[in-house]
Amino acid sequence: MDIGRIWAIVAKDLLEALRNKTILVAIFLPLAASLSLAVIADPEKPVHLDVGVLGSDNYPLEVYLATSVPELVYVTHYEDLELGQEAVARGDIDVLITKNTAQDVNLPADFIAFTDGSSVGIQLAVKEILEPLLAAYLGRATEPTVDFIFINQSKPGQALIPLWLTITTVMVGVMILSGNFAEEKEKGTLDNIRISPAQDGEILVSKGISGVILIVLVSVIMLGLNKVTLPNIAGYISLALLIVMGAVIFTAIGLLIGIFSKTQSAARAISTIIYFPLIFPALAADFAPGAAKMAAFLPSFYLYRGLKETMLFSPSLFALKADLVGLTVFLLISFSGTMWGYRKVLRQER
């Protein structure tokens, strides 16, 4: 393969993308949405609280919370502080409650609440739902009884960025790139490239590289506009790896749709049909068990989950093993499928 010819086609595609108003609008909307929703910063309080209670000596409190308002408070018992904090960090519970046995000047309240510092809604719910219950348990009038210790200190708006990164990656890869490839076929632009010295493999690789660059560029702009920061270099490496793998997968899917579509309108129709079942089960997996089972068969699920864990909890690459393995499997499938489809269409045309 000739690197010069590949990059010439990549440069042409990127330049055309910047001139295409439809592409710019499709890219601008998720960027604008990520900024506007970041300002809102998780305004809704949860309809119930998943509360962890630490230690066997707090069993009376555990029973009291479970029986007082069972429709508002779901209680889980934890014996180990570290396991309870990990449950808060993963989002398994909203808050971990324990008695303040030290009663020092820095934490003068009766209870300590370990909670997610990125969720304003949960903090408000603890103050409005849980704190009055704890005061009643102590037999007091409502008064401050809880001191907060925040497990995750990321920015509240940052919790929404994995959602928009996933939506943007799927949208650009599946909907935009498929239409662009089919449009080049329909207008004869692709035939003009084929009669140039560029080989068929170089053309496909060029289209793939331009798609990946476009998705990565939009992702970097979104991260920069929202001032996303991570606590360590491992977090940035994980984030970059997830974005690139997602870009490759959905670029390959978009190219596969474009390869088998005879017209741009056909590609748009097919990609729209595929887009919604591809994205919504993955985003609904957190609160819908049925959607979670379906999402396990979608690459968008592993991308979204990996991005969320990386940006909120900054785990190691080993902790992201399940998501990275899932994305690797879909990368191999999508890449192989695109290569197979391209070769099949070339054989039919010859």
pLDDT digits over 12-26, tens only?
888 877 777 666 666
Residue 334 pLDDT: 95
Domain ranges in the chain are: 3-40+157-349, 49-154
pLDDT band, residue 105 (cuts 50/70/90): very low
The hierarchical CATH code for the domain 49-154 is 3.40.190
Checking if the pLDDT of 213 tops 80, the result is yes
- Higher pLDDT: 1 or 258? It is 258
Which 8-state DSSP code applies to residue 173?
Answer: I
d(CA 283, CA 91): 15
> Hey, what are 183's tokens?
């449009």
Q: What is the Cα gyration radius of the chain?
A: 25
pLDDT band, residue 46 (cuts 50/70/90): low
Average pLDDT of 179-205?
81
d(CA 67, CA 134): 13
Q: What angle do CA 48, 312, 297 make, to 5 degrees?
A: 80
Say which residues have a Cβ less than 8 Å from residue 30's Cβ, sequence separation at least 6.
Answer: 164, 167, 168, 171, 218, 222
Write the pLDDT tens digit of every residue in 246-288: 999 999 999 999 999 988 889 989 998 998 888 888 877 766 6
- Kindly report the backbone phi and psi dihedral angles of residue 96, in degrees, each rounded to the nearest multiple of 5, phi listed first: -115, 120
Residue 121 pLDDT: 67
CA 348 remoteness from chain centre: 39
Span of 121-135, 224-238, 288-302 with lowest mean pLDDT: 121-135
pLDDT band, residue 338 (cuts 50/70/90): very high
d(CA 81, CA 342): 55
> Hey, what are 348's tokens?
């039919």
Its pTM stands at 0.69
Report CA-CA distances (Å) from 18 to 10, 25, 128, 226: 13, 11, 49, 22
